[in-house]
Amino acid sequence: MKNIVIIGCGQGIGFAAAKILSENHNVIGISRTENTEIKNLNIQFHPMDILSGNLNEIIFPEVIDGLVYAPGSINLKPFNRLSIEDFENDFEVNVLGAVKAIQKLLPNLKKSESASVVLFSSVAAKLGMPFHASISASKSAVEGLTKSLAAELSAQKVRVNAIAPSLTDTNLASTLLSTPQKREASGKRHPLQRVGTADEIAKMVEFLLDENSSWITGQIIGIDGGMGNIKL
């Protein structure tokens, strides 16, 4: 049984990952979002905003085998309506929160025989998409962080990978999928003609934390309905 920390386990992909992983592992969950469903999972849950909270208040296992950083943002605006604060906020949520968590838990990860860190990018970091300037900038930084840390930590047998989804049916994307018409239009933009689900992404999280992925590091793995590589 592995010790796995999931930041952002309160909803969406983070919650789906916590649900799957808690069946066979010891999961420590951290999220500013607390709902009734998370209380029903067999995890150690700590209500905390990763950006403003103090991780020293949490007693972590001496050995941590997996770290998942799942918080994200969808801040879609025309470039001339994006403020400096928009860019700063997206960068803090997507990049600096991950840096904070990794720096805090790296000594614990290094004590594992096979540690794995999973971060989240976006298909928007690969494709030029209108209204995505802020989120694309921060997610591109996540990809750079992933590759750099994978190289730096390889000698300590700590693997670092990122998942780059396209639009996924989560609370974060609820306004983009709020009507049948919006959902259909969003689906048609993907070669596989639908949006993704949180469970589909969570299964990749599970794989990247498993021994079956022990020779995978420094990768950006697209789970995007084909959008990142296929043009129909």
pLDDT tens for 181-223 read 877 777 788 889 888 899 999 999 999 999 999 999 999 999 9
pLDDT score recorded for residue 181:
80
User: How far are the Cα atoms of 75, 124, 172, 179, 218 from residue 176, in angstroms, in the given order?
Assistant: 11, 15, 9, 8, 31
- At 169, is the pLDDT very low, low, confident or very high (cuts 50, 70, 90)? confident
Q: Does 160 map to a domain? A: yes
Q: CATH code at 217?
A: 3.40.50.720
Residue 13 CA to residue 172 CA, distance in Å, equals: 10
Indicate the burial class of 212 (C-beta count within 10 angstroms; 0-12, 13-18, 19 or more): exposed
Predicted TM-score (pTM) of this structure: 0.95
pLDDT digits (tens, 9 = 90+) for 43-59: 999 999 999 999 999 99
**Mean predicted confidence (pLDDT) in 154-162:** 97
pLDDT given for residue 39 in this prediction:
81
54 located within any domain = yes
Q: How confident is the model at residue 176 (pLDDT cuts 50, 70, 90)?
A: low
Structure-model confidence comparison of residues 147 and 171, the more confident one: 147
Handedness of CA 78, 49, 26, 142 (dihedral sign): positive
Q: Is residue 64 part of a domain?
A: yes
Is 184 part of a structural domain of the chain?
Answer: no
- Residue 232 has a pLDDT of 77
Cα 232 from Cα 223, distance rounded (Å): 17
137/127 Cα distance (integer angstroms): 12
Q: How many domains does the chain have?
A: 1
**183 lies in some domain:** no
Both structure tokens of 13: 């992909």
- Looking at residue 168, its pLDDT comes to 81
Q: 74 in a domain, yes or no?
A: yes
Domain range enclosing 102:
3-170+197-222
26-43 pLDDT, tens per residue?
A: 999 999 987 778 888 999
pLDDT given for residue 32 in this prediction: 92
Domain presence at residue 229: no
Flag whether pLDDT at 174 surpasses 70. Answer: no
Answer whether residue 178 shows pLDDT above 70: no
Q: For residue range 101-145, what is the model confidence (pLDDT) as tens digits?
A: 999 999 999 999 999 999 999 999 999 999 999 999 999 999 999
Average of pLDDT values for 48-73? 96
- Whole-angstrom CA distances from 129 to 32, 36, 37, 157 are 30, 36, 34, 36
Q: Are strands 66-69 and 115-120 parallel, antiparallel or unpaired?
A: parallel
Is the pLDDT reported for residue 74 higher than 90?
no
Distance CA 175, CA 38 (A): 23
Name the 3-class secondary structure at 63. Answer: coil
Helices then strands, counting H and E runs in the chain, come out as 7, 9
Please determine, for residue 173, whether its predicted confidence score (pLDDT) is greater than 70. Answer: no
- CA 107, 110, 115 angle in degrees (round to 5)? 125
End-to-end CA distance of the chain: 44
Q: Is residue 216 part of a domain?
A: yes
Are residues 76 and 131 in contact, defined by beta-carbon separation less than 8 angstroms? Answer: yes
What pLDDT is attached to residue 45?
96
